[in-house]
Structure 1
Amino acid sequence: MDAAAANATKAVPGIPRDSDGPVFREPWEAQAFAMALALHARGLFSWNEWAAALADEIRRAQAKGDPDNGDTYYRHWLATLERLIAAKGVASSQTQHRYRDAWDHAADRTPHGSPIELRPEDFGS
């Protein structure tokens, strides 16, 4: 485990881990984790700020009926990442949705196993 991941697992309670470090069930979970590490390294947020925002996100989800059995942890992680990115002015929620929709469009036209490439037409009009 690298130093950044080790620091994150110490600073942010609840990260699913084993003796080697964080564990992920799906590739997107590892990618979301890595994005948070990169943004933290660039000074976008402190781990204390991240932990507080993540705890708020988890509480909101629990209030809406999330069973909090661990299966949705990285969904909360991703939602927190999106919320902080918007709050810090990196990319608005509207911009994030625009790119998510474009990515979905590009993925729909890409054969399985091929790299997904965003094109201008993926963004619609």
Structure 2
Amino acid sequence: MPRQTTRCTSICGRTTLSQPDPRSAAKRFEASPLLPQDEDGPVFAEPWQAQAFAMAVQLSAEGHFTWTEWTEALGGQLQAAVYRVEQDDGSRYFEHWVAALELLVADKNLTDPASLSERKEAWVDAYLHTPHGHPVELEARSMTPLITTIDPTWYHRWT
């Protein structure tokens, strides 16, 4: 019986794997069936939602977690809300994004749970001590970056 062969082409010296394109990561996130959107793209009711979206896109584009890891983390948060029998009209969707991000950045050692907790407490304290109608601001002297690998201007692209 004759032996079957498969033709192959030499790839020596050629690029076989390219760097991830941040635009393709953004497109994948925008294509999410649960992401609130209109005909122009994602819709954000509050600036923090756009920031959560941008952070997820940026961290994925930088290779800190894969698309599969992101969808599993977000899906886990959404499923946990179902198990808790939370009534959700979609307005809490980005709260689940933030919870999934917190889980992933801790799992990937991009920051630690204690730093996340400290930052949350600082925001609550700043909120409670901010007069109505004024922007809530953290004191810069007490805050160190939670994740130091991200360009600090990343969120301006999405707000």
TM-score under structure 1 normalisation? Answer: 0.81
Number of the residue aligned with 1:14: 34
Long gaps (5+) in structure 2: 1-21, 145-159
Matched, 1:119 2:123: no
**1:34 maps onto 2:54 in alignment:** yes
Which 5+ residue runs of structure 1 have no aligned equivalent? none
Secondary structure at the counterpart of residue 48 of structure 2: helix
**Paired residues of 1:5 and 1:22 also in contact (CA < 8 A):** no
Equivalent pairs, count? 120
| Number of the residue aligned with 1:57 | 77
Q: Classify 1:118/1:102 alpha carbon distance in 2 versus 1 (closer, same or farther; 3 Å).
A: farther
Which amino acid counterpart does residue 96 of structure 2 have in structure 1? H
Bigger relative contact order (CA 8 A; separation at least 6): 2
Query: 1:62-88 CA distances to partner (integer Å, 9 max, x unpaired)?
Result: 110122321111010110000111111
TM-score by length of 2: 0.65
Q: Which amino acid aligns with 1:16?
A: P
The one-letter amino acid of 1:69's match is D
Cα separation, partners in 2 of 1:114 and 1:85, compared to 1, 3 Å:
closer
3-state SS of paired residue (2:82): helix
Alpha carbons 2:126, 2:137 under 8 Å: kept = no
1:44 maps onto 2:64 in alignment: yes
**Matches of 1:8 and 1:96, distance apart in 2:** 24
* CA deviation vs aligned residue, 1:2-29 (integer Å, no higher than 9, x gap): 934323122x331111111111111111
Letter aligned with residue 65 of structure 1 = V
Are residue 82 (structure 1) and residue 87 (structure 2) matched? no
Q: What amino acid is aligned across from residue 8 of structure 1 in structure 2?
A: F
RMSD: 2.4
> Which amino acid is the alignment partner of residue 29 of structure 2?
A
Give the structure with higher Rg (CA): 2
Separation of aligned partners in 2, 1:31 and 1:54: 16
- How far apart are 1:109 and its partner, in Å? 4.5
| CA-CA distance at 1:57 after TM superposition | 0.7
Shift of 1:114: 7.2
